[in-house]
């Protein structure tokens, strides 16, 4: 939880290097599984208590036109909302294999902050 808070603090201040540095420190300490756990926590923060399981689609109109990291975040958060850890892990592994995980995690952090701001407005 402390790592997720550190990621959110970096994202809130617009410091992408701090966000990346926190994820790097988590990987150094806990491996890729630790980074996945932080990402899953960020997804939980975005979803909150509002979405019932199975209510979020992984595919929807226009998703294929979105940037890789944007598609990834939408699908990863949908997997969390649907209590579908297998899909979440598959998405995480695919982004890692594609060399895009860092971009995806930065977008996830920024999206989480945007969601939290929307809730307070």
More confident residue, 116 or 1: 116
The number of distinct structural domains making up the chain is 1
Per-residue pLDDT reduced to its tens digit, 44-56: 999 887 666 666 6
Per-residue pLDDT reduced to its tens digit, 60-72: 778 889 999 999 9
Is the pLDDT reported for residue 1 higher than 80? no
List the domain range (segments joined by +) for residue 107. 2-120
Which CB contacts under 8 angstroms, 24+ apart, belong to 98-105?
98/68, 100/68, 100/69, 100/72, 101/35, 102/20, 102/23, 103/68, 103/69, 104/68, 104/69, 104/72, 104/73, 104/76, 105/19, 105/20, 105/23, 105/35, 105/39
* Amino acid 61: pLDDT: 78
* Amino acid 59: pLDDT: 67
d(CA 42, CA 104): 12
pTM exceeds 0.85 for this model: yes
* Amino acid 54: pLDDT: 62
Residue matched to tokens 């990402």: 39
């Amino acid at each position: 939880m402390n790592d997720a808070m550190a990621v959110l603090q970096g994202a809130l201040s617009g410091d992408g290097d701090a966000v990346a540095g926190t994820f790097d420190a988590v990987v150094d300490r806990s491996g890729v599984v630790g980074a996945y756990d932080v990402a899953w926590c960020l997804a939980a923060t975005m979803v909150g208590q509002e979405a019932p399981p199975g209510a979020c689609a992984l595919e929807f109109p226009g998703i294929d036109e979105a940037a890789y990291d944007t598609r990834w975040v939408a699908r990863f958060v949908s997997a969390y909302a649907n209590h579908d850890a297998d899909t979440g892990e598959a998405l995480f592994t695919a982004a890692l294999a594609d060399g895009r995980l860092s971009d995806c995690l930065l977008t996830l952090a920024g999206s989480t902050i945007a969601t939290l701001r929307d809730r307070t407005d």
